[in-house]
Amino acid sequence: MTVSREKRLLGRVALVVGAARGIGKGIAARFVAEGAKVVVADTEAEAGAATVAELGGPEVARFVAVDIAQKAGADLAVATAVEAFGGLDILVQNAGIYPWTLIEHISAEEWDAVLGVNLRGTFLAAQAALPAMRARGGGRMIFTSSITGPKVTSPGHGHYSASKAGINGFIRAAALEFSGYGITVNGVEPGNILTEGMKAHRSPAFIRQMEEAVPLGRLGTPEDIAGAVFFLASDDAAYVTGTTIVIDGGQILPEGNDFRLSPG
Domain range for 20: 13-247
Q: Could you tell me the CATH number of the domain that includes residue 177?
A: 3.40.50.720
**160 is a catalytic site residue:** yes
Give pTM, 2 decimals. 0.94
In a domain, 28, yes or no: yes
- Catalytic site residue from 98, 160, 181, 239: 160
Contact 197, 22 (CB under 8 A): yes
Kindly state whether residue 139 falls inside one of the protein's structural domains. yes
Strands 90-93 and 139-144: parallel
User: What pLDDT is attached to residue 199?
Assistant: 84
| 62 contacts: CB under 8 Å, gap ≥ 6 | 38, 39, 40, 52, 80, 84, 85
The domain total for the chain is 1
* Pairwise CA distance, residues 145 & 122, whole Å: 10
pLDDT of residue 2: 54
Confirm whether 259 is domain-assigned: no
Reduce the secondary structure of 100-124 to three states and give it as a string: CECHHHCCHHHHHHHHHHHHHHHHH
Tell me if 8 is assigned to some domain.
no
Flag residues of the chain having pLDDT under 50: 4
In a domain, 216, yes or no: yes
The answer to whether residues 138 and 183 touch, using CB atoms and an 8 Å cutoff, is yes
For residue range 161-217, list pLDDT tens digits in order: 999 999 999 999 999 999 999 999 999 999 999 988 788 878 899 899 989 999 999
